[in-house]
């Protein structure tokens, strides 16, 4: 295998630390295994028609300039997100006969493919022409198979994995001291983009119910990008001094908040996999999440607690349960350990490398 060309419409930068961080993590893991990786990615999360045209034009220029400069050395391309990243892999296959694999992360199938008939057609074409498809969760794999007529033996269910060298348990008391958090505060944590689809509105409604149900000092920490200002403004009546909003953090800083928190909450409306829930588990933090997408298979066997999506009352009830249940009873360490073994980033990296080798040789997933 010569070079692997990774193409992604999401990639972090010094200004946008969490934007597609999972793609960079995998790239770094591949490089650690001595895989020669080159990357052409969009690292600008700006929205709006003008911004989108400008950033995607810049990204396209980067993709094709790198492809032309390295075309004799590239063995395979790996597109993260079927559309739009997969368009470039598809074109490079047609022009230079370079095979490609594509990772579907959820939003590309759940939302993007439903935006128009044209995008759906592109999505199907990209999936069909790929050597292999990686689906980050089993529900997503089913959708790809059934909705786009992709043979099951072409689909590999494989999450992005969690780096357990970064995300690991620590003594909560010590971490809280470093972060300036009071010992007796009960901390609920949310990490992710602060958008409607992540269930942040339901979370705030639920947290208000929790706060009103107890005399204990409870706090909610929300860490993530807040680019949708209209949505942020709509949340203002639900926010008081017990809610803390923070910008995205480097992962080495983010893990401290997982370690310092009592419960991680992810009330998403849709979720291809739910990597942040896995990171919470790796940090030894109990998880409450919506019964949607990849979160079901991740948590249903006891590694976390699932609630009905878009239901603030159900969410509040489970949050109260977590508040009133000792951690050793609420957090199933055995189930968590089993999940972490399956989704360890080192093992995931080996599987991805195997998939590259299979695609280059023209083999099957199995």
Radius of gyration of the chain (CA): 21
- For 216-232, what is each residue's pLDDT tens digit? 999 999 999 998 999 99
* Mean pLDDT of all residues in 283-308: 96
Which pLDDT does position 366 carry in this prediction? 44
Which pLDDT does position 362 carry in this prediction? 83
Q: Which residue has the tokens 């960079």?
A: 24
Residue 365 has pLDDT above 60, yes or no: no
Token output for 144: 């790809």
Query: pTM above the 0.85 mark?
Result: yes
Q: Among 214, 223, 242, which residue's Cα sits nearest to residue 322?
A: 214
How far is the CA of 66 from the CAs of 20, 31, 53, 174, in angstroms? 20, 18, 20, 47
Which pLDDT does position 47 carry in this prediction? 86
CATH number of 3-161+344-361: 3.40.50.2000
* Mean pLDDT of all residues in 127-152: 96
**Residue-averaged pLDDT of the chain:** 96
Crossing angle for the helix pair 333-342 and 275-282, to the nearest 10 degrees:
120
Q: Are 176 and 182 in contact (CB under 8 A)?
A: yes
In the chain, CATH 3.40.50.2000 sits at 3-161+344-361, 172-342
- For 35-86, what is each residue's pLDDT tens digit? 999 999 999 998 889 999 999 999 999 999 999 999 999 999 999 999 999 9
* Mean pLDDT of all residues in 110-122: 96
Output 293 or 313, whichever has higher pLDDT.
313
Residue 299 has pLDDT above 50, yes or no: yes
* Mean pLDDT of all residues in 108-122: 96
Which pLDDT does position 363 carry in this prediction? 55
* Mean pLDDT of all residues in 110-131: 96
Residue 287: beta bridge partners?
Answer: 264
Share of the chain above pLDDT 70, in %: 99
Which pLDDT does position 1 carry in this prediction? 81
Token output for 250: 């480097």
Displacement of CA 333 from its chain's centroid (Å): 23
Q: Which CATH fold would you assign to the domain 172-342?
A: Rossmann fold (3.40.50)
Which pLDDT does position 91 carry in this prediction? 97
């Amino acid at each position: 295998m010569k070079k692997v060309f990774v193409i992604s419409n999401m990639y972090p930068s010094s200004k946008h630390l969490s934007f597609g961080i999972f793609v960079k993590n995998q790239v770094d893991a591949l490089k650690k295994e001595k895989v020669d990786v080159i990357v052409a990615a969009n690292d600008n999360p700006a929205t709006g028609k003008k911004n989108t045209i400008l950033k995607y034009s810049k990204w396209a220029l980067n993709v094709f300039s790198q492809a032309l400069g390295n075309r004799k050395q590239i063995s395979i391309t790996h597109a993260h997100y079927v559309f739009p990243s997969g368009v470039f892999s598809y074109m490079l296959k047609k022009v230079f006969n370079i095979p490609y694999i594509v990772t579907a992360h959820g939003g590309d199938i759940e939302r993007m493919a439903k935006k128009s008939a044209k995008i759906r057609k592109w999505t199907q074409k990209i999936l069909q022409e790929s050597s292999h498809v990686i689906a980050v969760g089993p529900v997503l794999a089913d959708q790809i198979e059934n909705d786009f007529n992709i043979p099951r033996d072409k689909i590999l269910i494989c999450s992005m994995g969690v780096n357990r060298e970064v995300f690991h348990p620590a003594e909560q008391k010590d971490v809280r001291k470093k972060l300036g958090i009071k010992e007796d505060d009960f901390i609920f944590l949310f990490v992710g983009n602060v958008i409607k689809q992540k269930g942040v509105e339901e979370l705030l409604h639920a947290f208000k119910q929790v706060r009103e149900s107890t005399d204990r000092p409870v706090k909610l920490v929300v860490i993530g990008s807040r680019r949708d200002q209209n949505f942020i403004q709509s949340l203002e009546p639900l926010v008081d001094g017990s809610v803390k909003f923070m910008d995205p953090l480097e992962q080495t800083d983010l893990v401290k908040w997982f370690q310092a928190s009592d419960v991680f909450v992810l009330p998403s409306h849709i979720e291809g996999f739910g990597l942040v829930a896995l990171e919470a588990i790796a940090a030894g933090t109990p998880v409450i999440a919506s019964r949607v997408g990849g979160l079901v298979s991740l948590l249903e066997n006891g590694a976390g607690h699932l609630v009905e999506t878009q239901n603030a009352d159900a969410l509040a009830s489970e949050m109260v349960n977590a508040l009133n249940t000792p951690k050793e009873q609420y957090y199933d360490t055995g189930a968590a350990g089993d999940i972490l073994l399956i989704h360890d980033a080192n093992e995931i990296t080996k599987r991805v490398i195997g998939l590259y080798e299979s695609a280059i040789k023209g083999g099957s997933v199995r």
